[in-house]
Amino acid sequence: MLEALEKALDESTFLVSIQSANNEIGTIQPISEIVFMAHSHGVLVHTDAAQAVGKIAVDVNAWGVDLLSLSAHKMYGPKGVGALYVRGGIRKIPIRPLLEGGGQERGLRAGTSNVPGIVGLGKASEIACSEISSESLRLQTLRDELEKRLLENIPHLRINARFAPRFPNTSSLTFEEDADVLLLRLPQLMMSTSSACNTGAPEPSHVLQAIGLTRKQASSSIRISLGRLTTADDIHFVVHQFSSVVSR
């Protein structure tokens, strides 16, 4: 990935914008290395950390990014509110507003400030930061148990990006049968064949194809995400459901 970025950078490049981590397979990007490479070409770096906050440590100073965006609902805060970090402030990196109007929020977003949402975002951030170490370890333990037991019970199962740095709560699984058909046979489980952003897209996941899966394999893949309310009993239930259905 870094080699592809190096080739893409030229004198016309102004900004590199990249996810902190992938929302389909959970792989974590080497942000600090990307920043170093981009800055050596005089290019600014923005990272979309919506998926990362609350799951891994997010440190703008350690990463060195110029801009970072996040969403409250990804860490159990209210929907419809987010934040944008700008290194050095908007005087150093001029940003044009999408909505012209009043001078609220330093002229970047017109309209009455969403005070309940802003407070909710702050509180969600506070809780996430205070619990991130213990919660990440808990989720990783559950995820590893889930993957271990599924591999023991389902022949030819593939865990995508299994050995890459990734989120503690995400599993991308490839089966031998079509994922949509498999989901219909598992009505008690809420899962997805892709990210919510791509739900309904006619093409198989470009992310899965980019890491080497065929179109058929990409169409046979399911994403499972664990969360704060996931328990060991839930993991046992999921394994039982998959084992009973896939082995038929």
- Residue 118 has a pLDDT of 96
- Residue 91 has a pLDDT of 73
60 part of a folded domain: yes
- Same domain, yes or no: 138 and 114: no
Overall domain count for the chain: 2
Sequence-ordered list of residues with C-beta below 8 angstroms from that of 201, at least 6 positions apart, any chain: 194
- Same domain, yes or no: 176 and 82: no
The phi-psi region of residue 235 (left if phi > 0; otherwise alpha if psi is between -120 and 50; otherwise beta) is alpha
- Residue 104 has a pLDDT of 79
239 part of a folded domain: yes
- Same domain, yes or no: 110 and 205: no
Catalytic residue among 4, 8, 190, 197: 197
pLDDT by residue, tens only, the chain of 248 residues: 788 899 999 999 999 999 999 999 999 999 999 999 999 999 999 999 999 999 999 999 999 999 999 999 999 999 999 999 999 877 778 888 888 888 878 788 888 889 999 999 999 999 999 999 999 999 999 999 999 999 999 989 999 999 999 999 999 999 998 999 999 999 999 988 865 455 555 688 999 999 999 999 999 999 999 999 999 999 999 999 999 998 65
- Same domain, yes or no: 89 and 107: yes
- Same domain, yes or no: 20 and 67: yes
62 part of a folded domain: yes
81 part of a folded domain: yes
119 part of a folded domain: yes
- Residue 193 has a pLDDT of 84
- Residue 247 has a pLDDT of 60
Measuring CA to CA, which residue among 22, 17, 7, 68 is closest to residue 170?
22
Between vectors from CA 34 to CA 10 and to CA 224, what angle results, nearest 5°?
125
187 part of a folded domain: yes
- Same domain, yes or no: 33 and 142: no
**DSSP for the chain, written as a single string:** -HHHHHHH--TT--EEEEESB-TTT-BBP-HHHHHHHHHHTT-EEEEE-TTTTTTS---HHHHT-SEEEEEGGGGT--TT-EEEEETT-TTTS----SS-SS-GGGGTS-S---HHHHHHHHHHHHHHHHHHHHHHHHHHHHHHHHHHHHHHHSTT-EETTTTSSB-TTEEEEE-SS-HHHHHHT-TT---BSS-GGGTT-SSPPHHHHHTT--HHHHTTEEEEE--TT--HHHHHHHHHHHHHHHT-
Read off the tokens for 28.
Answer: 């974590």
Domain end: 123, 148, 164, which one? 123
Separation of alpha carbons 129 and 127, rounded Å: 5
Domain end: 98, 123, 148, which one? 123
- Same domain, yes or no: 119 and 169: no
- Residue 71 has a pLDDT of 96
Q: What's the CATH number where 221 sits?
A: 3.90.1150.10
Domain extent at residue 96: 2-123
- Same domain, yes or no: 221 and 145: yes
Domain end: 123, 157, 175, which one? 123
225 part of a folded domain: yes
- Residue 246 has a pLDDT of 86
**Catalytic status, residue 197:** yes
Q: What is the reported pTM?
A: 0.88
- Same domain, yes or no: 108 and 174: no
- Same domain, yes or no: 119 and 229: no
- Same domain, yes or no: 102 and 185: no
128 part of a folded domain: no
- Residue 194 has a pLDDT of 61
